[in-house]
Amino acid sequence: MLAHVNLIALNPTEGYPGQPSSPERITAFTAILEQKHIPHTLRLRRGTDISAGCGQLRSQVRAQRPTLKAT
């Protein structure tokens, strides 16, 4: 199977309990990919310093919207 794995650390996002992987876990995972000769790219996270990373903007917009009540 031809594949290329893109890796990006999870962005910490308000309201989502998941946490980014530690640098050690990322290194261990990329080592497994390398051992298996699976092509991969470790991407840089961007925008986290201003809460504009993937998932972060959505949670901000969702928090600002009024909730709709069922009638």
Say whether pLDDT at 69 is over 80: no
Instruction: Give the tens place of pLDDT for each residue, 26-60.
Output: 999 999 999 999 999 998 776 666 666 666 666 55
* Domain ranges within the chain, ordered by starting residue: 5-64
CA separation for the pair 26, 13 (Å, rounded)? 19
Residue 3 CB partners (closer than 8 Å, separation 6+): 38, 39
pTM higher than 0.75: no
CA separation for the pair 21, 30 (Å, rounded)? 12
